[in-house]
Amino acid sequence: MFHPALRTPICSLLGIEYPVLQAGMGFVARGDLAGAVSAAGGLGTLGAATMSAAVLRDEIAKVRRMTDRPFAVDLLFAKGRGGNAAQPFTDDIQEALEVVFAERVPILVSGLGDPGPIVPRCREAGIKVLSLTGNTKNAKRLAASGVDAVIAQGYDGGGHTGQVGGMALLPAVLDAVDLPVVYAGGVGDGRGLAATIVMGGQGVWCGTRFIATPEAWGHDNYKNAVVQIDDEGTIRTRCFSGKPCRMYANRTTAAWESAELQAKIEPFPLQMRAVAGWLGKDPYMAGRRDGEIEIGACAMGQSAAVIDAVTPAADVVLQIMDQASRALDRVAPR
C-alpha cells in the first residue's frame, strides 16, 4: 500500500486512484498514452490543441476502448475574433468544445488561457475544469472564473511555461486561492510528488516523464533525447510559437537567440507559421514525428535530468507512486 498522504482530495474530485496527472502535450498525448495512464489509476489527458474535431472524437473513443476510468481533454483557450460572448474562443476551440460536451468528457483542462466563459456550461454537464497558471495573478483570475482546481506550473516545466520558479510558485498559489492546487514543472519522479504533498499541493501534472514512454506519440529520437540530456539540455524560447516555451536546445533555438531573429518573432500563434517558413518545414512534425531533433520543435522540461529510461506509461505511474511513498515514509513513517 502507498503512503496514506498520497490519497489527496483531488483524487476524489476527479475520480482517480492516484494523484498523478499526465499533461496534455500537443501531438504527444493521444489516446494510447491517455488510456494507459488512466487505466493505471492516474489521469490520462488528450492534448487536443493540435487535433481536429474528428481526430479528437476518434482519440476519445480509443481511450474508452482501453478503460472506463476518468480522463481529460486539454485545450489552449485562444480568444475568438472580438472576444465577445457569442464567440469567446476561436472556431477550432469552439468545435473541440462541442466534441467534449457531446462525448461527455469528464474533465476539461485549459493549458493556456481562461476557460471562464465555458465554466457554467461545464458545471451543468458535470465536467470538472482545471486550468494551468504560471503566476498568482492568473491563479486568482482563474479561481474567479469558477474552475475546480488550478495547476501551478513552474519555470522548469516543458512546453509553454512562465518565469516563476516552482518552489516559490506552489506555496504562493496555495496562499492565493482557496482551491485544490496541482503542481507542474520539473517533476520527473516520485520525489517531486512527495515534495508537492508536503508543501500542500494535491498532485502533480507530469509531461516530460510521459514523453519517454512507448505509448507517447513521437519518434524514438525525441523520446531518447529526454533520457540522454542533462539539466542544461533545454531552453525557454519564443522561437517556435511566439510564447515562452521550454524546448530541447538545438540548432534552431540557437539561431533564433540572435538579436536579428529575436526582433522578427511574431506573437502567438503567428510565429508557428513564421518559423516553419524559415525552416522550410513544419518544426513540430520535424521534431516529434520525423525525429529531426536538432532542428525540430521538441518540448521538454528540466525534469529530463532525472529520467533515465523509456518506460511503459502504467509503470511510470506506479513508479512515481512508489518513490513518493518511500520519500514520505522517510519523513512521516506510517
- Tens of pLDDT along 22-66? 999 999 999 999 999 999 999 999 999 989 999 999 999 999 999
pLDDT at 84: 63
Amino acid at 163: Q
Residue 76 has pLDDT above 60, yes or no: yes
pLDDT at 87: 78
**Mean of pLDDT values over 178-184:** 98
Q: Read off the pLDDT band of 332 (50, 70, 90).
A: confident
- Same structural domain, 164 and 295: no
pLDDT at 54: 97
Residue 135 has pLDDT above 60, yes or no: yes
Asked if 282 and 179 count as a contact pair (C-beta separation under 8 A), the reply is no
**Mean of pLDDT values over 134-155:** 98
- Mean model confidence pLDDT for the chain: 96
Residue 85 has pLDDT above 90, yes or no: no
Residue 140 has pLDDT above 70, yes or no: yes
**Lowest mean pLDDT, pick from 67-81, 133-147, 155-169, 299-313:** 67-81
CA triplet 212, 3, 108: central angle to 5 degrees? 50
pLDDT at 83: 56
Residues in the chain, overall count: 334
Q: In the chain, pLDDT over 70 holds for what percent of residues?
A: 98
Partners of residue 110 on adjacent β-strands: 75, 131
- Same structural domain, 182 and 67: yes
Q: Which of 166, 157, 139, 160 is nearest to 302 (CA)?
A: 157
- Same structural domain, 39 and 146: yes
The answer to whether residue 71 sits within a structural domain is yes
Q: Which of 96, 106, 99, 19 is nearest to 69 (CA)?
A: 106
The answer to whether residue 204 sits within a structural domain is yes
Residue 134 has pLDDT above 90, yes or no: yes
The answer to whether residue 225 sits within a structural domain is no
Residue 227 has pLDDT above 60, yes or no: yes
d(CA 1, CA 137): 38
Alpha helix positions (H), 243-293: 251-255, 259-262, 270-279, 283-284
**How many other C-beta atoms can be found within 10 angstroms of the C-beta atom of residue 144?**
11
The answer to whether residue 304 sits within a structural domain is no
CATH code where residue 84 lies: 3.20.20.70
- Same structural domain, 213 and 95: yes
Asked if 292 and 286 count as a contact pair (C-beta separation under 8 A), the reply is yes
The answer to whether residue 223 sits within a structural domain is no
pTM of the model: 0.96
Asked if 59 and 31 count as a contact pair (C-beta separation under 8 A), the reply is yes
- Same structural domain, 171 and 265: no
- Same structural domain, 287 and 313: no
pLDDT at 245: 95
d(CA 295, CA 279): 8
Q: Read off the pLDDT band of 318 (50, 70, 90).
A: very high
**Mean of pLDDT values over 308-316:** 98
* DSSP SS3 for 147: coil
- Same structural domain, 124 and 243: no
Q: Which of 9, 10, 12, 35 is nearest to 22 (CA)?
A: 35
- Same structural domain, 167 and 194: yes
Residue 100 has pLDDT above 70, yes or no: yes
d(CA 152, CA 201): 9
d(CA 121, CA 96): 14
Domain span at 294: 230-299
Asked if 19 and 202 count as a contact pair (C-beta separation under 8 A), the reply is yes
